[in-house]
Amino acid sequence: MTQAATGSEPDGRVPGRRWTVRLDPVGRGSAEVRVSCSRPACAERRLPSAAAGRTAAVAHLTAHLRATPAPRADTYCACRADGCRAHLPDTGRHARTEQPWRCGGPVVLAVITDRAGRWWQALECCSRCAAATPGARTAAASPPSAPRTAGRPAPAVAGPGAGTPQFSDQQVTTRTGGPAHLPVPAPRPRPARRRPPEARVGRRVVPRDLRPVSLRDELTELGDLFRAYQKRPEPDLALLADLQERKARAFLTWSEVSCDVALRLEAQRAEQAAAVIRRQHQHRTGCVPDGEEPGVARLLTGPAQWEYARSVLAYVAGHTPLPGAEARLLVLMLTLRTAHTGTGNLVGQDVQALGLTDPEDLVQQLTGCGWLSLPGTVGDLLASRPENPTPITVPSLVPGKDGTGPFTFGRKTRPKLSGWAQRAVSDKKLRKAKAPADARLLAVTLATWTDDVGRLGPGGRGVTLDDLITRVPVGADELRDLVDRLTAADWLTDATLTDTHLTGRLTERVLPLTCPLAD
C-alpha cells in the first residue's frame, strides 16, 4: 500500500466512487434471501429464492450503472486496499520511489463479481487497476487526461504521440523511443430510438388502427393482464377463468369487426378454457355442484364443521387451567373427547402420542386443580389399552340443568372433530420428526386459519401474531423455531414470519385437514 492510499491526494484528486450490492440468507431453515445495497438511499429487498435474489441484485446494479454519470477523470482509485495488485508496494531492485502511486490509464467504471454470486461491486479506478483485478469488467471510461503527480507537473512530450497521456508505468518502445500507450475503451454508442412495442394478446398482434378504440384498449389490457398472471408466484384459477371469459368476448367482437373466422374459433377455445378452469377452481375449493366429488376430500366436510373446530380452539384458549402450550394441547384433546356430555374414554397411548415432556405430571396437575376427574390413578390411565379404556370426566363440560353445554354441535359431530384433531397432531411426519407439543398445537391451529387453497389467513393475507400467540402461548423466538419445524416436516411452505404477521401456506398433503375460512 503506497502513501497515497491513505489520506487525501497531494494533487487535489477526489476519491473514486464505490458501492456494493450483497445477497445474504434471511435465516436458518428458510430459502428466502435479502438483497442490500451500500448506498443509503437503497432499501433492502427480500426475495423467495437465491435465483430470484441474484436476478434482482444484477438488475439493481445495472440500474445504478445506467444512472451513474461517466467516470470522472480527476479521481484516484477507489480500489486502494490490500490485495490490489497495482497498489502493492514495488520492493524490487528497480523500484520507482519518485512516484506516489503506480496507477495508469484513464479512469474507468469497473464491475467486480464474487465467484459464488454473493456480492457485486462497482467502483471508479484506473484502467491499470481494472486490468490487474481478476474478473473485473469495464462498464464505462472517462476521456483521456494528462496525468498529475505530487509536486511536479507532467513532462512535455515532443514528437509522435505528443499531447497524449504519459504514465510512469508505461513501457518504452524500441520503435519511437516513447511510451506505449494503454488502450482506452471506446465509449458505448447511444442506443437507437425504437418504435413503441406492439400490443399483443398471446401470439396475436393488436393493430394500431383497430376500431373501435375501446376494443383495441380492451385487447391491449388483456395482453398485459395475461403476462402479469404468468409472473404470479401462486395460481389463481378464479382470476384466470375471468380473464379467459373476457378474452372470449373480446375476440368474438374482434372477429365481427375484421370478419376473421380464425378469431371466432379462438374465442370459442377461450370460452371452453374458462369453463374448464372454473370447474377446476370449484373442485379445488370444495364448492362443487350437487352430486360431484370435491377436488380436496377434507376430513371435515363442510363450513359448519369447520366453524365448530374453530369454536373448540377458541374455547380452549380461554379455559385452560394451566399455563403453557403443552397443557393447552392436552386440554384440547380431552375437551374433544368429552365435549358433548362431559364424559368420555381415554387410553394411555392417546396421551403418550402428544409429545409431552412429562405427561404423568401434567395429567396429575389437571386432576389436582379439579379440571379433570379420573376413577383411578394417573398411572392406571397411562397404562390403559384400547380394550380397557379409562373413563374420564371434565366437570366444566357436563351439561347444566337445562341440558346445554358450552358447545352447540351434536352427538355425531363430536367424534368427527376428535378424529380430525387426532389426525392432525399425530401426523406421520410430525411423529417422525419427534415434534414437541407446541409444534403440534401450532399445526392444528394453522389448519383452521387457511383459505380454500391452503394459504394462511383470510384471502391468503396471513395470520396476525397477536391472534396466533393467543392460540399458541409461546414467545416470538420460540414461534420462529416452531415455524421452521413445521416447514421441515412438510406441513408448511413459503413461510415468512415478520413482526406482525405469519404468511405462507399449508402443503398439498395436509390440505384434507384444513378448515377454510369464509371469504
User: Confidence class of residue 88 from pLDDT cuts 50, 70 and 90?
Assistant: low
What confidence tens digit (pLDDT) does each residue in 141-187 have? 876 654 444 444 444 333 333 333 333 333 334 444 444 333 444 55
pLDDT on residue 473: 92
pLDDT on residue 185: 44
Q: Is 177 left (phi over 0), alpha (psi -120 to 50) or beta?
A: left
Report the distance separating Cα 202 and Cα 218, nearest Å.
14
| Least confident span in 20-24, 40-44, 161-165, 273-277 | 161-165
Check whether 56 has a pLDDT greater than 80.
yes
Check whether 452 has a pLDDT greater than 90.
no
pLDDT on residue 139: 80
Cell numbers for 351, please give them.
Answer: 396421551
What confidence tens digit (pLDDT) does each residue in 243-285 have? 999 999 999 999 998 888 999 999 999 999 998 888 777 766 6
User: Confidence class of residue 191 from pLDDT cuts 50, 70 and 90?
Assistant: low
Cell numbers for 78, please give them.
Answer: 477507489
pLDDT on residue 294: 52
pLDDT on residue 10: 44
Which residues on adjacent β-strands are paired with residue 152? 149
Cell numbers for 29, please give them.
Answer: 431453515
- For the chain, what percent of residues have pLDDT higher than 90? 36
pLDDT on residue 235: 80
| The 3-state secondary structure of 169-199, one letter per residue | CCCECCCCCCECCCCCCCCCCCCCCCCCCCC
Q: In 10 A of CB 173, how many CB atoms?
A: 12
Asked if residue 212 has a cis previous peptide bond (ω within 30° of 0), the answer is yes
pLDDT top residue among 139 and 499: 499
pLDDT on residue 19: 84
∠ CA(74), CA(80), CA(82), 5° rounding?
Answer: 170
pLDDT on residue 14: 77
Which residues on adjacent β-strands are paired with residue 344? 392
- Sign of the CA dihedral with 278 first, then 281, 287, and 290 last: positive
Check whether 335 has a pLDDT greater than 80.
yes
Across the chain, what does the average pLDDT equal?
80
pLDDT on residue 85: 67
pLDDT on residue 108: 87
Per-residue DSSP letters for 63-132? HHHHHSPPPPTTEE-TT-STT-GGGS---STT--TT-S----S-EEEEEEE-TTSSEEEEEEEEHHHHHH
| Least confident span in 69-73, 74-78, 287-291 | 287-291
User: Confidence class of residue 66 from pLDDT cuts 50, 70 and 90?
Assistant: confident
What confidence tens digit (pLDDT) does each residue in 459-508 have? 888 999 988 999 999 988 899 999 999 999 999 998 999 989 999 989 88
Average pLDDT over residues 356-365: 92
pLDDT on residue 266: 92
The amino acid present at 273, given as its one-letter code, is A
∠ CA(143), CA(148), CA(153), 5° rounding?
Answer: 125
Among 56-70, 113-127, 359-373, top mean pLDDT goes to: 359-373
pLDDT on residue 155: 40
Domain ranges of the chain: 3-90+99-141, 205-285, 303-513
What confidence tens digit (pLDDT) does each residue in 381-393 have? 999 998 889 999 9
| Least confident span in 138-152, 228-242, 328-342, 406-420 | 138-152
pLDDT on residue 391: 92
pLDDT top residue among 195 and 343: 343
